Structure 1
Amino acid sequence: MTHSVFIDGEAGTTGLQIRERLLGRDDIRLVQVDPARRKEASARAEAFAEADVAILCLPDDAAREAVALTADMDVRLIDASTAHRIDPNWVFGFPELAAEMREMIAAARLVSNPGCYSTGAIAIVAPLVAAGLIDEGEALSINAVSGYTGGGKALIGEYEGGTAPAHFVYGLNQRHKHIPEIMTHGGLLVQPVFAPSVGNFAQGMAVQLPLHMDADRSAAALHQALSDHYAGQQFVEVATAEEIGARIDPTALNGSNQLRISVHGEDDTGCALVVAVLDNLGKGASGAAVQNLNIMLGLPEDLGL
């Protein structure tokens, strides 16, 4: 069976990578809009009506407009923007988050794709909250570094043009757009201090959660809780500190849909660091969208991945 898929915003970074993942598949037919008409609402409406599933790779306001445009259509939607990630009418598209998530995604008409930073943060925090190793009211700090492709065309242009710094920290006002979804889907009641940054590399990401340890929250307990939660998962793995070594490379999983978590620190120091590595354009964006698409269509999750 062939399924029709429309990528609304396929010219952007995420859209291009989704298109690349779907182009070689004989089970997918990509619905196209004449480039000369791609900003016309009528042309996009025709494409939506023709598609079984549409993937929105748009700014938030444009994504909301697209949802309104499709309100009376049968087309199912995956939204890669921030617009609907904490909307209770949308299913959060992180299949590994909880046991029931795949069934919810498979049955949903509306699925919101997680953000890149939040994928790494939630992957760490949610299982530890569920296991009682992080209190929902605990004050946390989350640090992260991403490749510059996460900043869109303008930032890509700065780095490729040689005008950007080697590394910079941003989101200093603590209003980064991923914080609400980290809190909602991580199970936190207190806003974490979030310190995102960008490095001089195109793709890749490392999200870091520092924690103080005690008798209950040892490095072994943290590792075990995460290992138990992700046991049997294809795209999320938990590695030992020995397997990772003394350095963590944020580009280690580039080109894949993998996410790797590891716990570091020795109990006598009282300090631990939990780190998630992923491709910000893979499991953090286009790879996740294709994984969700496959689940929604009842196909093997790893098709195209």
Structure 2
Amino acid sequence: MKPKIFIDGEHGTTGLQIRARLAGRDDIEVISIPVERRKDAAARADFLRAADIAILCLPDAAAKESVALIGDAGTRVIDASTAHRVADGWAYGFPEMDREQAKKIAAAKLVANPGCWPQGPIATLRPLIQAGLIPADFPVTMNGISGYSGGGRQMVEDYEAKGDDAPEFLPYGLTFQHKHVPELKLYSGLTRDPLMQPVVGDFAQGMMTAVPLQLGTLDRIPTGAELHAAIADHYAGLQDSVVEVAPYEAVERTAELNPESYNDTNRMRLHVFANDDRAQAMLVAVYDNLGKGASGAAVQNMDLMLGLKH
């Protein structure tokens, strides 16, 4: 019997992307609630409890409600909301984060799908903190740009309605209370809050994150080559990884730093740039905010939980 997958919130941005990624697969069965019953809690409970895996593409409060509706039915959960990303008992759905993380996800009943913004910084910072090259209390800042689809259906509709009048470059989160800060802090291994400066660009999807490092304050200043080697070593030994590390080279600019490079894929590419004379470096990640940053990660986690390879 094929495992049953229920996408709770399948008509939102992430849900629609997951449906598209699962279309045509004959190794699973996607069960779908009738449109007219989507807001019927009893109907949702029936579908949630009938599924082998429920993928929650909902606001935080609704995601918590879905988990409660499942109760003791035994349904395994992938939650794409922010609700459970730092909660006890939930496996963090970034398989490449550590060498054993994919196994933890495969065995988990409850998996919290990562947010799009934290994954790039976590992917670059965590190996450096674990290697002792960057201290856990380092004052980290991060910036980046994402397509407007990262803001969900309302932002997509707003941008598309504005057409040529949509802002090309829109910083936000200027109160520094971004909902992804706890997740970024915990899984990167930091002990102090990072400062996030996210930007929405006038393109539908794709993203790039950057972590600039002022290394001159450290007692021992790592070289760019050492930073790159630690990150490359972390990902070199991982099986079925979708994260790759670009070669370390000194360049003024590169076409690879295009936030739309990996659209419609689940890939992530990491870069290290440095000037050793100035004791400065920058860690960059390029990926799709709807791929590795959302729906692609959810499908990758689903396959791990079901023991499937794609």
Tell me which interval the TM-score lies in, with the shorter structure as reference length.
over 0.9
The Cα RMSD (Å) is: 1.4
Matches within 5 A, 1:160-179: 160-161=160-161, 162=163, 163-179=165-181
Which AA in structure 2 matches 1:295? L
One-letter code of the match for 1:186? S
Conserved? CA contact 1:144–1:208, under 8 Å: yes
Identity %, equivalent residues: 51
Q: Which residue of 1 aligns with 2:214?
A: 212
- Give the distance between the partners of 1:145 and 1:35, measured in 2 at CA: 34
SS in 1 for 2:236: coil
The structure-2 alpha-carbon separation of the partners of 1:96 and 1:142, relative to structure 1 and needing over 3 Å to count, comes to: same
1:202 to 181, 201, 204: 204
Which stretch of structure 1 is more off in the superposition, 161-170 or 103-112? Answer: 161-170
Structure 1 residues 281 and 69: CA distance shift in structure 2, 3 A: same
Provide the residue aligned with 1:237 in structure 2.
244
Q: Is the Cα–Cα contact under 8 Å of residues 213 and 267 in structure 1 kept in the other structure?
A: no
Distance 1:221 1:242 in 2: 13
Number of corresponding residues = 301
Which residue of the partner structure matches residue 55 of structure 2?
Answer: 55
Deviation of residue 100 (structure 1)?
Answer: 1.5
- When residues 245 and 50 of structure 1 are mapped into structure 2, their CA distance, relative to the original with a 3 A threshold, is farther
Residue number in structure 2 paired with 1:246: 253
Q: Does 1:138 align with 2:138?
A: yes
Residue 83 of structure 1: aligned partner? 83
Deviations 1:149-188 (A, max 9, x none): 0011121112211243111100011110100000111111
CA distance in 2, matches of 1:246, 1:79: 38
Structure 1 partner of 2:226? 221
TM-score, normalising length: structure 2: 0.94
1:191 is aligned, of 186, 190, 193, to 193
- Look up the match of 2:103: 103
Helix, strand or coil: the match of 1:280?
coil
Paired AA for residue 165 in structure 1:
P
Partner of 1:180: 182
- SS of the residue corresponding to residue 177 of structure 1 reads coil
Please report how far the alpha carbon of residue 129 of structure 1 lies from its aligned counterpart in structure 2 after TM superposition: 0.7
Paired amino acid for 1:258:
R
1:292 alignment partner in structure 2: 301
Q: Which amino acid aligns with 2:226?
A: A
| CA distance in structure 1 between the aligned counterparts of 2:274 and 2:100, rounded to whole angstroms | 32
- Aligned to 1:207, the other structure's residue is in SS state strand
- Tell me the SS of whatever aligns to 2:294: helix
Contact 2:249 2:273 in 1 (8 A): no
Per-residue CA distance 1:35-81 (angstroms, 9 max, x = gap): 10011011111111221000000000000000111122110000000
Q: Which runs of 5+ in 2 are unaligned?
A: none
- Write out per-residue CA displacement over residues 187-246 of structure 1, whole angstroms, 9 at most, x where no aligned residue: 111111110001111111111000123554111011000000011443000102549871
CA distance in 2, matches of 1:243, 1:75: 50
Amino acid at match of 2:74: D
**Local SS of the residue matching 1:58:** coil
Alpha-carbon distance in structure 2 between the residues aligned to 1:9 and 1:63 = 9
Structure 1 stretch 36-45 or stretch 241-250: which is displaced more?
241-250
Secondary structure, counterpart of 2:63 in structure 1? helix
Name the aligned partner's letter for residue 220 of structure 1: A
Structure 1 CA distance, aligned partners of 2:119 and 2:99? 17
Quick one: which amino acid aligns to residue 253 of structure 1?
A: Y
Q: Which amino acid aligns with 2:304?
A: I
Unmatched segments (≥5 aa) in structure 1: none
Q: Which runs of 4+ in 1 moved over 3 A?
A: 213-216, 241-245
Q: CA deviation at 1:138?
A: 1.0
Q: The residue matched to 2:5 in structure 1 has which SS?
A: strand
CA contact (8 A) 1:118 1:182 kept: yes
Q: Deviations over 1:130-165 (max 9, x none)?
A: 011111111111111101000111211122112431
Separation in 2, partners of 1:182, 1:37? 36
Distance 1:241 1:251, change over 3 A: farther
